[in-house]
Amino acid sequence: DHHCAVKSVTSLLQTDKRNLRVSFWNTDITSTAGYDNIIQHLNDGKRTCKEIEDFMKASTLKRSLDVFKLQTENVSLSHLHLAQTMREEAKKLEDFREKQKEARKKIEQQMDALHKQKAAQYKKTAEAKKTYDQKCRDKEEAEQNMNRNATTSSSKQQEKLYAKTQQAKQTAEEADRIYSQNVSVLGKMREEWLKEHVKACEFFEKLEVERINMLRNVVWTHLNHLSQQCVTSDELYEEVRKSLEQCNIQEDIEHFINLRRTGDKPPARADERETVSIRFRSQFVKIHYIFVYAIYNLSTDRVTVCFKQFIEQLDGLI
């Protein structure tokens, strides 16, 4: 049964030299070097990762990871470039906004001053009208009072009523003059305000057109940058995908085997190892005696032939 098992294992080992199961044996039965190499390779955390990094320097997966790292860095650089571009666009938009703010502020200050002047003049005109209305009523009242007392009062009283009526008339005329003057000033101010209001509206409309156009272009450009970034990223990632397509699992496993293999012969049983050792020593002594005999008793040509046979038999024993 043991010989059958050994024969089965030997047959298995001779089928394929590219698998872990046939590449990590050791003829020393006490050695676990091959097994330790596999366990270290699979489970040793950071050390295993470092080992993988070392042995994959020439592997297809390593090349794919290098491409992945390179293209990821390129994507990061493209993102940085996009961020810089966005900052530049934002700066342009900020400068544009500040420029519009200053231009609008100047017009707003002019219009605010006109609005205050117009409101003040309107209030002044309204007060003048109120005064004028009151003086007109005072004049009418003085005239009526003078007419009522024209026949019943003395001449001296009539003179006083007449003087009062004339004073009221003059006061009313002065109030009328002031009111008319304020109305004229308010009219001129209104005309000036209307002109400036039209100019302000036209200017504000121009600013609004510029603002809408600017924002439209900024958003449009930003979307173009984002679209281009997506295209660039996909192109870079495509390089990684192409590299991954070239990744050969079996080739990487063979690379690891070639780098860390310990042997393809499992240890023999202890009794077999002793038998083989005794047989080897016995045969070696016999061949050695024959070779020594040939040296001392045969010609040079025969010695050469015996030496070759000696080497062949040693190879056979080994």
How do residues 50-87 score in pLDDT, each as one tens digit? 554 554 454 556 666 677 777 778 878 887 888 888 88
Angle between helices 249-260 and 45-55 (to 10 degrees): 100
201 token code pair: 């509206």
Task: Kindly state whether residue 234 falls inside one of the protein's structural domains.
Answer: yes
Q: Sorting pLDDT into bands at 50, 70 and 90, what band is 23?
A: confident
Distance CA 264, CA 36 (A): 15
Q: What is the mean pLDDT of residues 110-123?
A: 92
Which is nearest to 38 in space by CA: 51, 50, 28?
Answer: 51
Q: State residue 174's pLDDT score.
A: 92
* pTM to 2 decimal places: 0.51
Q: State residue 152's pLDDT score.
A: 72
Task: Kindly state whether residue 291 falls inside one of the protein's structural domains.
Answer: no
Query: Does residue 176 surpass a pLDDT of 60?
Result: yes
CA distances from 274 to 8, 28, 277 (A): 22, 13, 5
Which is nearest to 197 in space by CA: 113, 100, 99?
Answer: 113
Cβ neighbours around 107 below 10 Å, total? 16
Task: Kindly state whether residue 276 falls inside one of the protein's structural domains.
Answer: no
Task: Kindly state whether residue 215 falls inside one of the protein's structural domains.
Answer: yes
Task: Kindly state whether residue 145 falls inside one of the protein's structural domains.
Answer: yes
CATH number at residue 86: 1.20.1270.60
- The domain in which residue 70 lies consists of 58-260
Cα 60 from chain centre: 30
Q: How many domains does the chain have?
A: 1
Task: Kindly state whether residue 293 falls inside one of the protein's structural domains.
Answer: no
Task: Kindly state whether residue 76 falls inside one of the protein's structural domains.
Answer: yes
Q: Sorting pLDDT into bands at 50, 70 and 90, what band is 222?
A: confident
56 secondary structure, DSSP code: G
Residue type (1 letter), 61: L
DSSP letters for 1-33: -HHHHHHHHHHHHHH-SSSHHHHB--SSTT--H
Task: Kindly state whether residue 243 falls inside one of the protein's structural domains.
Answer: yes
